[in-house]
Structure 1
Amino acid sequence: MLQYILNKAFYACLTLFGVVTVIFFLFNVLPGDPAQMMLGQNEDSAQIAAVKAKYGFDKPILTQYLYYLNDLSPLSFHSHKSEDYTFLSKGKYTHKKLFAISNTTMVIKLPYLRESFTKQGKKVSQVIGETLPNTAILAISAITIAIIIGIALGIVSALYKDRWLDKTIQVLSTLGMSVPSFFSAILFAWIFGYILHKYTNLEMTGSLYELDDFGERMQIQWKNLILPAIVLGIRPLAVVIQLMRNSLLEVFNQDYIRTARAKGLTEFQIIRRHAVKNALNPVVTAISGWFASMLAGAVFVEYIFGWNGLGKEIVNALNTLDLPVIMGSVLVIALLFIIINIFVDVIYGWLDPKVKLE
Structure 2
Amino acid sequence: MITYIGKKIVYAALTLWGVISVIFLLFQVLPGDPAQMMLGQNESEEQLQIIREKYGFDQSLATQYGYYLNDLSPISVHANNKSHYTALSTGKYDAIALFKTNSFTCVVKRPYLRESFQKNNKQVGQVIAETLPNTIVLAFSAISIALLLGVFLGILSALRKDSWIDQSIQVLSTVGMSVPSFFSAIIFAWLFGFVLHNYTGLNTTGSLYELDDFGEANQLQLKNLILPALVLGIRPLAVVIQLMRNSLLDVLSQDYIRTAKAKGLNTYQIVWRHALKNAMNPVVTAISGWFASMLAGAVFVEYIFGWNGLGKEIVDALNTLDLPIIMGAVIVIACMFMLINILVDVIYAYLDPKIRTN
TM-score with structure 1 setting the length: 0.96
Aligned to 2:192: 192
Aligned to 1:251: 251
Instruction: Report the alpha carbon displacement of residue 98 of structure 1 after superposing the two structures with TM.
Output: 2.3
Report Cα offsets for 1:295-336 as digits up to 9, x if no partner.
235111011101111111111112222221111111111111
Aligned to 1:271: 271
**Greater CA deviation, 257-266 or 321-330?**
321-330
Amino acid at match of 1:119: K
Aligned to 1:136: 136
Contact kept in structure 2, 1:34 and 1:322, CA below 8 Å: no
Contact kept in structure 2, 1:349 and 1:357, CA below 8 Å: no
Go from structure 1 to structure 2 and tell me whether the alpha carbon gap of 1:85 and 1:313 turns closer, same or farther (over 3 Å shift): farther
TM-score with structure 2 setting the length: 0.96
Report Cα offsets for 1:252-272 as digits up to 9, x if no partner.
110011111111111111111
The 2-side partners of 1:313 and 1:85 are apart by: 28
Aligned to 2:101: 101
Report Cα offsets for 1:55-83 as digits up to 9, x if no partner.
32222222111111111122222122233
Aligned to 1:18: 18
Unaligned runs of 5+ in 2: none
SS in structure 1 opposite 2:113? Answer: coil
1:202 equivalent in alignment to 2:202: yes
User: How do 1:230-241 residues align onto structure 2 when only pairs under 5 Å count?
Assistant: 230-241=230-241
Report Cα offsets for 1:276-295 as digits up to 9, x if no partner.
11100110111000011112
Aligned to 2:321: 321
SS in structure 2 opposite 1:81? Answer: coil
Instruction: Report the alpha carbon displacement of residue 235 of structure 1 after superposing the two structures with TM.
Output: 0.2
Amino acid at match of 1:101: T
User: How do 1:1-358 residues align onto structure 2 when only pairs under 5 Å count?
Assistant: 1-296=1-296, 298-356=298-356
Amino acid at match of 2:88: L
The 2-side partners of 1:43 and 1:200 are apart by: 51
SS in structure 2 opposite 1:93? Answer: coil
Report Cα offsets for 1:97-156 as digits up to 9, x if no partner.
222232212222222111111111211111111111000000000000000100010011
Unaligned runs of 5+ in 1: none
How many residues align? The count is 358
Contact kept in structure 1, 2:139 and 2:229, CA below 8 Å: yes
SS in structure 1 opposite 2:99? Answer: strand
Percentage identity across aligned positions? Answer: 70
Amino acid at match of 1:245: R
